[in-house]
Amino acid sequence: MVSKKLEFYDVVEYPVITEKAVDLISTANRLTFIVNKKANKKEIKEAVEKMYAVKVKSVNVLLDRKNRKKALVTLAKTSNAQDVANKLGVL
């Protein structure tokens, strides 16, 4: 069975706005998103780069206690997570 590739706008569902997630923006240049459970790291990276015009260094994923897929997206030094967070209304 061949799985259908997700479109970039179907990958990222919404940003995480917790104290820890906001702290990671300024300290680690990292954004946190809840993403589609079917999305893989490559699709998440491509979606974030297209949606927010940034360069992604790495993506880490985990399932949280509410069984949501959470993506921790570290941006390259040339991109600023605080700028993206301001556009999203996180900060």
Token pair for 83? 């700028």
Question: pTM for the whole thing?
Answer: 0.91
Which residue is it, tokens 């590739």? 5
Average pLDDT of 39-45? 96
pLDDT digits (tens, 9 = 90+) for 28-41: 999 999 999 999 99
- The CA-atom distances, in angstroms, between 11 and each of 3, 48, 63, 67 are 14, 9, 15, 16
Kindly tell me if the per-residue pLDDT of 2 is higher than 70: no
Alpha-carbon gap, residue 13 to 1, rounded angstroms: 25
Class of domain 8-88: alpha beta
